[in-house]
Structure 1
Amino acid sequence: MDTFRWISTVFSMILGLGVARLLASAVAVFRARRRAILDWVPMAWALFIFLQQLAFWWSMEELATAMRSWTFPNFLLIVALVLALFLAAALVLPPAEIEEGTNLRRHFEADGRWALIPIAAFNALAILANALFWNMDVLTLAEALNFALCLLPLIAFASPRPIQIAATLLYIPLGLYAFAELLPSHY
């Protein structure tokens, strides 16, 4: 087994834990739908965290061909990307069964919105990874998209509810476009 296969096992384990955490939280929200007050904003962010997890997992195959030899800083950059996705998944929704009367909006305002910082960090680190691994110029449409996907979560994190909603609504089409257009269709 080559070096990348060993390294990718670590990445896959952390990504798998993040996916499992996010899915378990989504199931808890679904089960609480009759006894809790739900909110679409954290659910939208959870969906995009999930899509970014899947997209990153799928595109890791490109790393096998992009990196002929690995350095510890390169390894740390990819670990930072994976950890950012894990942290976002762990923070965005309540972690366990949701009690009667729980307000998902209040949870998001108190704890869940902290997931937006790792989302922003993931997209910022993606710009760095694109430059280092694929020699991508930072002045491209794809990198402008990554910059917007970095900036919008920060705006949503630091802003009152109306601006948070606007940032989330702007993130939705940009995130869908990034998922559909920038992801390798096959290997």
Structure 2
Amino acid sequence: MIATFRSRANAVPDVRPVAWAICIFLLELELWWGLSDLRTIIKEWTFPIFLLFISSPLLLFIAAALILPAHELHAGEDHQRIFRCNGRWALFAVSAYYLESMGQTLYFWKAPLISTWAAINAVLIVLPVLAFFTQGKKERVITISAVVLTILFVFIDILIPIPV
């Protein structure tokens, strides 16, 4: 985000990757919040369980590293072109994060599959993939929907925790 901000004089920031970066940041906060429950959920840690849980922050790291340029753009460089070339690949990591999050929540937290939380999560698994394959107005609508649902997803998870 800092490189994008600093580049604003040389290249107009693209709202789509910035919106996805905000989603990724919110998911990072939600992940850290959820980790506090692990002590009560997992009685015995094994290496496979560790690998399962470490993959969540790794997926978010990959998404964050790809979504926006890592450097300040110079005159002639274009945020949209960079997003089309590299940044949109982060959307698969976001989708994989939601899929893994859903699996973990169903298995470890014993959340019900039929619930508002699960429905929002299912939509959030699909939206990044749809955004990857669309352009123009459809992509903007998908991105706005993802931001709104991500905020709702985080709000539901933090304020209305799944009973254990």
Give TM-score, length-normalised by structure 2.
0.92
1:160 deviates by 2.3
DSSP-derived class of the 2:37 partner: helix
**Residue in 1 aligned with 2:119?**
144
Instruction: Write the deviation string for residues 111-167 of structure 1: whole angstroms up to 9, x where unpaired.
Output: 000010000000000110001111112222111111111110010011123221111
**Residue in 1 aligned with 2:13?**
38
**Residue in 1 aligned with 2:131?**
156
Residue 123 (str. 1) matches residue 65 (str. 2): no
Alpha-carbon separation, structure 1, partners of 2:76 and 2:116:
44
Check conservation: 1:37, 1:102, Cα contact below 8 A. Answer: no
Alpha-carbon separation, structure 2, partners of 1:33 and 1:48:
21
1:31-110 equivalence runs, <5 A:
31-110=6-85
Alpha-carbon separation, structure 2, partners of 1:94 and 1:114:
12
**Residue in 1 aligned with 2:144?**
169
What is the aligned length? 161
Check conservation: 1:52, 1:179, Cα contact below 8 A. Answer: yes
Check conservation: 1:59, 1:184, Cα contact below 8 A. Answer: no
Alpha-carbon separation, structure 2, partners of 1:153 and 1:76:
24
- The one-letter code sitting in structure 1 at the alignment partner of 2:7 is A
Instruction: Write the deviation string for residues 26-62 of structure 1: whole angstroms up to 9, x where unpaired.
Output: 1111111111121111100001101101110121001
Residue 135 (str. 1) matches residue 134 (str. 2): no
Q: % of aligned pairs identical?
A: 34
Question: Which residues of structure 2 form unaligned runs of 5+?
Answer: none
Flag the structure with more relative contact order, 1 or 2, with Cα contacts below 8 A and sequence separation at least 6: 2
1:184 deviates by 5.0
Residue 181 (str. 1) matches residue 148 (str. 2): no
- The one-letter code sitting in structure 1 at the alignment partner of 2:21 is A
CA RMSD of aligned residues (A): 1.5
Alpha-carbon separation, structure 2, partners of 1:151 and 1:68:
33
